[in-house]
Amino acid sequence: MCGIVGYCGQKRAANILLEGLKRLEYRGYDSAGICVGTGTDLKCVKKKGKIRVLKGIVPQDMPGTFGIGHTRWATHGEVNDINAHPHLDDSGKIAIVHNGIIENYLSLKEMLISEGYEFKTETDSEVIAHLLVDRYDGDLEKAVRETVLLLKGTFGIVAVHADEPGKMVGARNGSPLVLGIGDGEMFLASDVTAMMAYTKQVVYIEDGEVVSVDCDGFRTSDLKDREIAKQVDHIGWELEEIEKDGFTHFMEKEIHEQPESISRAIRGRLNLDTATGHLGGLNLSIKELHAIERVKIIAIGTSYYASMLGAYLMETVARIPAMAEVASEVRYKNPIVEMNTLYFVVSQSGETADTLYAMRELQRKGATVLGVCNVVGSTIARESDGGVYIHSGPEIAVASTKAFTSQVTVFYLFTLLMARMRDMSLDRGLEIAKALQNVPDQIRHIFSMGNLIRDLAIKYSWVENFLFLGRGIQYPVALEGALKLKEISYIHAEGFSSAEIKHGPIALINEKTPSVFLVPDDALRDKVISNLKEVKARGGKVIALMV
């Protein structure tokens, strides 16, 4: 959740860093800070709370044309000014920002303390600043390389040194880092949104790489200092896409973007003559697709619920055994790679560590893994063996909305492709293809009921516990609904298969715990309605969404 931005150029660095941090605000944070090099020393300002609070205490005329900034989401140590990044070493010469978790920080800290270093913060990140100063002999890039070799865990790091003005050195392992190439100015950030106002030319830094940057250019190398040639990519998004555009917040904007984002996910991928899906990026021939005997889909959070829905579709519609698994479990369970199995990893950001590491482990064991990602050029998109972009456009809100519906759309397309290669008739295929094309208009229709939905929200705003219940294809939707309510409204919510409530959860039903029922228009309709009646019989209030 943390964010990094670094700048070197001719402009006042403090302003650019603060603006970059503001753009990263959407990721969530609890404190923020910047550190700017003046040419002789480093000036650091950091503060618990919002960026506007930080902005208020950064001197307006703060000099310096290079520096680093950070938004922190506390993991090690409480939320306070001292634990906020950047972290300086004792001499105040070196400053670092870090995203990720240093797993061996305790042993490194003990070692550094025994060597006389004093720690000011409770963070895992501070060890990096002390290790850097310990290794520094006039060459920051070399010190970063040597430090990184001692670290275990995940990191995206950027460091600056007072004696090397105009230079930043970054390194990554598992946390994203991207270089932006401007006109006489350079950026390093955890996310392209921090630099998009200045440049769209970017270089993605990979795990195990070190990048050394000044305003004239950059050098990338591996941990053995072997130079690596990098490709410069162009960001396809426009700046307006990462602005609120009149909406109160990004989540509201992104909910309203769904008719368009779903249309984009479908565009060019639906063949109405043959009633099938066309997904060029899969990199699999018809023969290879035919050889698939089962599908496994790996993801986390909202992407996992979209994957559950995708697996359900593949099994029930295309008749291919399919299941979704949580990436954090797959990663650590020494997963079995089965023959003739197609693996998907699903990730909006394309950077989620558990999903990425699960993918690498499966690939290491010989699996073919396809990515379903939104962020073009993200690590999962680059490292997967093929895949499909969902083309949602930037999802700035931390709470995923339009990505979920586009991920599901892509799974409909894949299911249609597989089903039509097997035994689905042209007529049935056409029915599904046309239904898919109608989805954007159906969503617009739901927007026309905005007032009704708002009234319902107000009516139930006093409630502290909610249940979300659905069956079949609606079961993962119920889980996603519960996740969204707790994440955004801080209201406790649980999702269940409505068939499961009588096996325990029914004990929770009372007049203070309403249930949102998703009632499908299929063979399970009557069963769900009967579950709904059970809830009502116990005095539970019901909000039913009838499909």
Picking from 122, 209, 146, the residue whose alpha carbon sits closest to that of residue 173 is 209
Q: Which of 17, 35, 235, 300 binds ligand M6R (CB under 6 A)?
A: 300
Task: Answer for the pair 187, 202: CB distance below 8 angstroms, yes or no.
Answer: no
Closer residue to ligand M6R (CB): 97 or 396: 396
Least distance from C-beta 344 to ligand M6R, angstroms?
A: 12
> Which region, judged by CB under 6 A, interacts with ligand M6R, from 48-56, 101-109, 159-167, 393-401?
393-401
The four Cα atoms 352, 354, 358, 360 give a dihedral, to 10 degrees, of: 60
**Coarse DSSP helix, strand, coil percentages of the chain, rounded to the nearest 5 percent:** 40, 25, 35
**Residue with nearest beta carbon to ligand M6R:** 301
Question: Taking CB under 6 A as the rule, does residue 349 contact ligand M6R?
Answer: yes
Residue 48's CB is within 10 A of a number of other CB atoms, namely: 19
Q: Which of 154, 258, 328, 355 binds ligand M6R (CB under 6 A)?
A: 355
CA distance 64 to 8: 9
Least distance from C-beta 306 to ligand M6R, angstroms?
A: 8
Q: Which of 347, 409, 498, 531 binds ligand M6R (CB under 6 A)?
A: 347
Closer residue to ligand M6R (CB): 347 or 405: 347
Residue with tokens 């797993």: 103
The four Cα atoms 9, 231, 158, 99 give a dihedral, to 10 degrees, of: 130
Closer residue to ligand M6R (CB): 212 or 401: 401
Q: Measuring CA to CA, how many Å separate 458 from each of 252, 403, 467?
A: 17, 26, 17
Determine the size of the site formed for ligand M6R (CB under 6 A): 13
Residue with tokens 């769900």: 528
Least distance from C-beta 449 to ligand M6R, angstroms?
A: 23
Structure tokens at 410: 């892509």
Task: Answer for the pair 184, 66: CB distance below 8 angstroms, yes or no.
Answer: no
CB-based contacts of 110, cutoff 8 Å, min separation 6: none
Strand intervals (E) in 414-541: 465-470, 492-497, 515-519
Q: Which of 212, 352, 368, 498 binds ligand M6R (CB under 6 A)?
A: 352
Task: Answer for the pair 304, 327: CB distance below 8 angstroms, yes or no.
Answer: yes
Structure tokens at 209: 């790489």
Closer residue to ligand M6R (CB): 348 or 515: 348
Least distance from C-beta 406 to ligand M6R, angstroms?
A: 11
Which amino acid is located at 428 in the chain?
A: R
> Which region, judged by CB under 6 A, interacts with ligand M6R, from 15-23, 213-221, 301-309, 470-478?
301-309
- Binding to ligand M6R, residues 398-427 (CB under 6 A): 398-400
CB-based contacts of 513, cutoff 8 Å, min separation 6: 463, 465, 466, 467, 540
Least distance from C-beta 182 to ligand M6R, angstroms?
A: 27
Closer residue to ligand M6R (CB): 38 or 363: 363
Least distance from C-beta 476 to ligand M6R, angstroms?
A: 13
- Exposure string of 19-35, with b = 16+ CB inside 10 Å and e = fewer, is bbbbbbbbbebbbbbbb
- Binding to ligand M6R, residues 482-501 (CB under 6 A): 487
Question: Taking CB under 6 A as the rule, does residue 252 contact ligand M6R?
Answer: no
Question: Taking CB under 6 A as the rule, does residue 272 contact ligand M6R?
Answer: no
Count of H helices and E strands in the chain? 17, 25
Q: Which of 99, 348, 498, 513 binds ligand M6R (CB under 6 A)?
A: 348
Considering just the CA atoms, what is the radius of gyration of the chain in Å?
25
| Cα diameter, the chain | 76
Concatenate the DSSP letters of all residues of 426-494 into one string: HHHHHHHHHHHHHHHHHHHHHHTTHHHHHHHHHHTTT-SEEEEEE-TTHHHHHHHHHHHHHHHH--EEE
Q: Which of 31, 173, 193, 302 binds ligand M6R (CB under 6 A)?
A: 302
Closer residue to ligand M6R (CB): 219 or 486: 486
Closer residue to ligand M6R (CB): 71 or 302: 302
The four Cα atoms 368, 372, 377, 379 give a dihedral, to 10 degrees, of: -60
Which amino acid is located at 344 in the chain?
A: F
Least distance from C-beta 70 to ligand M6R, angstroms?
A: 20
> Which region, judged by CB under 6 A, interacts with ligand M6R, from 155-163, 205-213, 344-352, 413-421?
344-352
Least distance from C-beta 378 to ligand M6R, angstroms?
A: 9
- Binding to ligand M6R, residues 213-232 (CB under 6 A): none
> Which region, judged by CB under 6 A, interacts with ligand M6R, from 255-263, 278-286, 341-349, 517-525?
341-349
Q: Which of 303, 405, 498, 515 binds ligand M6R (CB under 6 A)?
A: 303
Residue ranges that bind ligand M6R, judged by CB under 6 A: 300-303, 347-349, 352, 355, 398-400, 487
